[in-house]
Chain A
Amino acid sequence: MAEAAALTTGRVKTGIQLIDERLGGGFDRPSTLLFFSRTPTEKRVFAEHFTATGLREGERCLYVDFYRAPQLAAREISRYGSADQDNLVVVDATSAQLLIEGDGKYVIRNLDDLKEIAATIRRAIQETRPARVVIDSLEFLADRFPREAILSEWRKIIETGQSCGAAVAFLFINWTYGEEEIQQVQGLCDYVVEFQSRVRAGVIQNFLRIADQREGGLHTAWIPYTFRDMAGLSIYFPRILVIGPGDAGKSTVVRALCGKSLSIDKMGTTVAFDYGNVDMSGIEAEVIGTPGQERFEFLFRIFAQEITGLFLVLDGSRPEDLPRARHLLGLFSPDTPRVVLANKADLPQALSETEIREALGLDATTPVLRTIATDGTGVREAMLVLAEQIMGV
């Protein structure tokens, strides 16, 4: 049985649907992963989510924890939803720090001995044959041992992981190493998942990006994400703005995307804004529809900050609206991910895509989709296309 498991190759899912699709089903197995950041971020949340996803898939997972007692680590991993905890093996590296006898099967007794640390991890990998290994974390070692020694032991762990068919993930926040050493560390990995967070007025926003280090591999842009107990990680777009000339169907687009939405309108015209939540295919988003008329532009400016992405909605049968649409688009940085919706595509006088592109001065990378928001046609697709634009894949 153990031998059969050892030969298992394939993919390990991240548990985030859209990312798994882009990765062709998940990270390669075997492979070496680096969960990396330059500042304190929520890397561990991703690592725990990664572990919990493996457990849910029925895979064996090995978690090496230098910071938490095994019971605590296991309990925190269970925050990500119910999963079979029997398949979770935690390597105990904390009992020795507390000068107590650990009672688990894999206990690192001497934390001053790098060779013993690495040997215990390797033995655990060889004996338990896990699909996933998480080592939390490399910086614990980087603070204590010389770099060359760590890299040499690290290579051995990677080799053991490879030969046992495991995806081995190392958490690493860089306090001490220079750019050259980081390159060296990243060079040893197949995938680098990098984390960053940003704070404005006390509100934290988290981002991750994935780079497949191999030739022609996937490289994503910074993807915003969020975490909730039991649901785990999901891609989260905190602000998708719906802009466009008056009477183009912006409120209808918000409604079609979000099911129920809040709309403040008078006589069919949005006078304040529309608001709705999207929850689909592992994406959560907050969508704000702005009023189209020029006289409401002050409101528009309140919401036109820190935009994750844009929908420009047009009445695809009204060429006279296009200058206004172009003006609105010009209010945003060209780097803002965007999708143009040529709405009311069911009307007979609908403009061609070329006409729209020319009038708006769009570059070739901006998608133009035909939609009929009143019956929802094309709106969901538009959200997925926008997600691709944001994720850069």
Chain B
Amino acid sequence: MDTPEVHARLARILEEMRGLPEVTASAIVRRDGVIIEHRLPTQVDTRKFAAMTAAIVGTGEMSTTELGLGGFDQVLVYGSDGVMLATGAGEEALLVTLLRKDANIGLVLLTGGRVAQEIEECLRAAVPQSKEVAYALP
């Protein structure tokens, strides 16, 4: 798959997510804090959002490791008006979902796990740029 195809497929995955009644918005973010694809409200600064998410998940991962909680699964952030859920989606990416405050988290986690796997497969199927092409870039 080339890059536009990857994005089209990721966009479709996010559209499906938005079809769930609990979900208000969602995004796919690179683990180092760069936005890959999103369905976020226009007032959200997507770049800032991506950096924030990476930091939250990084801190979550650090906590599970340091506290002997095993492997990292997800972070949930509860606000008075809604919930943010972030899970890993392969080595490179994170799936972030915003939920209604009364959402059935268990149900979303179930779907989220499957979706995260789809994202992982999609990114893995992406054609990486060949090594000899990317010469001498910083």
Q: Does B33 contact A (CB under 8 A)?
A: yes
Chain A residues, Cβ within 8 Å of B136: 222
Q: Is A176 an interface residue when CB atoms closer than 8 A count as contact?
A: no
Query: CB within 8 A of B32: which of A38, A202, A303?
Result: A303
Q: How far is the CB of B102 from chain A (nearest CB, A)?
A: 28
Q: Assuming A199-B3, A222-B137, A275-B51, is B128 touching A302 (CB within 8 A)?
A: no
| Chain A residue with Cβ nearest B47 | A286
Chain A residues whose CB sits within 8 angstroms of the CB of B93 once the complex forms: 201
Task: Tell me, in angstroms, the Cα distance from A182 to B52 when the chains sit together.
Answer: 45
Give chain A residues whose Cβ lies under 8 Å from the Cβ of B36.
201-203
Name the residue among A197, A224, A238 with the largest chain B CB count within 10 angstroms: A197
Which parts of A35-69 form the interface with B (CB within 8 Å)?
A: 38-39
Give residues in A with beta carbon < 8 Å to B. Answer: 38-39, 196-204, 207, 221-222, 224, 238, 262, 264, 272-273, 275, 277, 286, 288, 298-299, 302-303, 305-306, 308, 335-337, 390
- Whether A199 and B51, one on each chain, are in contact in the complex, defined by CB atoms closer than 8 angstroms, is no
Mask, B22-60, CB within 8 Å of A = 1, is: 000000101111111100000000011001101100110
B111-138: CB near A (< 8 Å → 1, else 0) gives: 0000000000001001011000111111
What residues of chain A lie closer than 8 Å to B34, measured between beta carbons? 201, 203, 238, 306
Out of A202, A207, A286, A302, name the residue touching B58 (CB < 8 Å): A302
CB closest chain-B residue, reference A335 = B138
> Please, which residues of chain B bring their CB within 8 A of the CB of A202?
3, 6-7, 10, 28, 36-37, 123, 126
Known: A288-B51, A303-B54. A200 touches B30 (CB 8 A): yes
Q: What is the CB-to-nearest-CB distance from A258 to chain B, in angstroms, rounded to a whole number?
A: 11
Closest beta carbon of chain B to A176's beta carbon, Å: 16
Chain A hits for B126, CB < 8 A: 199, 201-202
Given contacts A201-B36, A302-B55, A302-B58, contact A308 B138 (CB under 8 A): yes
A26 to B: closest C-beta gap in Å: 25
Cα A337 to Cα B59 in complex, Å, equals: 28
> Looking across the interface, which residue of chain A has its beta carbon closest to that of B57?
A302
> Contact at B137–A302, with CB atoms within 8 Å?
no
8 closest cross-chain pairs (CB), A and B: A201-B92, A305-B32, A302-B58, A202-B36, A298-B62, A202-B6, A201-B30, A272-B55
CB contacts under 8 Å to A, within B60-103, are 62, 92-93
Q: Report Cα–Cα, A232/B46, bound state, in Å.
A: 20
**A200 x B92 contact (CB < 8 A):** yes
> Which residues from A are CB-within-8-Å of B51?
273, 275, 288, 303
Tell me the count of chain B residues lying within 8 A, CB to CB, of chain A: 34
Residues in B with CB closer than 8 Å to A390 are: 138
Chain A contacts of B7 at CB under 8 A?
202
Complex contacts, A299 vs chain B, CB 8 Å: 55, 58-59
A136 to chain B, nearest CB (A): 21
Q: Assess A38 versus B48: contact at CB under 8 Å? Given A200-B92, A302-B32, A306-B32.
A: no
Known contacts being A198-B137, A199-B129, A221-B138, is A303 close to B33, with CB within 8 Å?
Answer: yes
CA distance A42 to B128 in the complex (A): 18
16 contacts between A and B (CB under 8 A): A38-B133, A196-B137, A198-B129, A199-B128, A200-B30, A200-B92, A201-B36, A203-B35, A203-B36, A204-B3, A222-B138, A275-B47, A275-B51, A303-B54, A305-B32, A306-B34
CB distance from B45 to the nearest CB of A (A): 8
Give bound CA distance, A264 to B3, whole Å: 34
Given contacts A202-B3, A202-B7, A305-B32, contact A275 B138 (CB under 8 A): no
Determine whether the beta carbon of A302 is less than 8 Å from that of B3. Answer: no
> Chain A nearest CB: distance from B93 CB in Å?
6
Interface-central residue, B6, B10, B59, B93, by most chain A CB under 10 Å: B59
Contacts of B135 in A (CB 8 A): 196
Chain A residue contacts of B28, Cβ below 8 A: 202
CB distance from A262 to the nearest CB of B (A): 6
A387 to chain B, nearest CB (A): 13
Give bound CA distance, A202 to B92, whole Å: 10
Among A38, A196, A200, A273, max chain B CB count under 10 A is at A200
Task: Tell me the nearest residue of chain A to B34, going by C-beta.
Answer: A203
Q: Which A residues lie within 8 Å of B35 (CB)? A: 203
Known: A39-B133, A222-B137, A299-B55. 19 other contacts (CB 8 A): A39-B129, A197-B129, A198-B137, A199-B126, A200-B92, A201-B126, A202-B6, A202-B10, A202-B126, A203-B36, A207-B137, A272-B52, A275-B51, A288-B33, A288-B51, A299-B59, A302-B58, A303-B55, A390-B138
